[in-house]
Amino acid sequence: MDYLLLLVGFIVLILGGNWLLKAAVGMALRLEIPKIIIGMTVVSFATSAPELIVSLNSALSGYADISLGNVIGSNIANIGLVLGLVTIISTIQVEKSFYTTDWPVMMLASLLLYFFMFKDETLQRYEGVILLVSLIVFLVYLLKFQKVAVADEVDNESAILPVKMLFLYLIIGGVGLWLGSELLIKSAVNIATNFNISERIIGITIISVGTSIPELAASIIAVIKKEKAISLGNLLGSNVFNILAVLGITSIVTPIQGKDPSLMSNDMMWMLLFALLVLPLVFVPVRMKLGWKEGIILLGTYVVFIALMI
């Protein structure tokens, strides 16, 4: 039954990603907002919902290592697994906003999380408030200033959907992503538990990959449909949301105290490494492009990470 639920969860996630993408593109066209901003807000919110649900439930249930491991592992998977696979499938033309806004904010959010947990390995309520306020400031900046700063390419063949259809696709897509992730995560945890795997390993690998499936589904569909700005914006935005929103909200509800020291000494270091690795790959060997060679480097590094974890 668990293996069947795993398959059903994956299918529902793919469908949910497709519906959510339709809503995002339609909203970008109707509101005349650059699609990379839509990718970093609407799509990122919906695709980060599984991380929020899992992290909040885990922390409230006393499984802090799953809560932290889920976010750290998901951020690693978004870059190593998802971005790696997407760029192997199709070359991504990187927008200027990557180095002016997207990557710096993702890096700052990662360093902020590390700074907060460096001494006591605990994310306190006031630190969660700081994370959440930082997210609000970031969104205000995007919507007020980045709107005219980002060069946007709108697909002229895309029809502007009616408002009712936009909200319908948005709701169905969000619910589909959430439901699919729930099915996938529960079945994955049941399978992993049978092999006596620790909370940290479950969170950093199986659950994090499960909660990154929405990003993978939405990004692959975006590439196939030539909406590559949304694909890259979604991944970088999801990493920002995972730290500032998911851990921010979770730690406000209940402080998160990591139990396994490897979360800080090993896992957090890998998260920072993957965040740093994206920057040189965008400029070398081809400036402002991520192709199959870069994809292989990212995916290969992720495989090494998983192999060392196991």
H or E segment at 79?
A: none
The secondary structure of the chain in percent helix, strand, coil, rounded to multiples of 5, reads: 80, 5, 15
- Which amino acid makes up residue 294? E
Q: Which domains does the chain have, with CATH numbers?
A: 39-158+188-309 (1.20.1420.30)
DSSP for 207-273, written as a single string: IHHHHHHHHHHHHHHHHHTT-HHHHHHHHHHHHHHIIIIIIHHHHHHS-EE---THIIIIIHHHHHH
Q: Give how far Cα 153 sits from Cα of 50, 149, 232, Å.
A: 30, 13, 14
Which residues lie closer than 8 Å to 83 by C-beta, 6 or more apart? 219, 232, 235, 278, 290, 295, 298
pLDDT at residue 152 in the model: 43
* Average pLDDT of every residue of the chain: 83
- Among 14-28, 154-168, 217-231, 287-301, the range with the most confident prediction by mean pLDDT is 287-301
Q: Across the chain, which distance is largest between two alpha carbons, in Å?
A: 54
Neighbours of 4 (CB within 10 A): 10
* Token pair belonging to 291: 């192709």
Q: How many C-beta atoms surround the C-beta of residue 279 within 10 A?
A: 14
Q: Is 292 helix (H, G, I), strand (E, B) or coil?
A: helix
Segment 179-237, tens digit of pLDDT = 887 787 778 778 777 878 877 888 898 888 877 877 787 777 777 777 666 667 778 88
- Give pTM, 2 decimals: 0.81
Q: Which of 81-95, 117-131, 138-152 has the lowest mean pLDDT?
A: 138-152
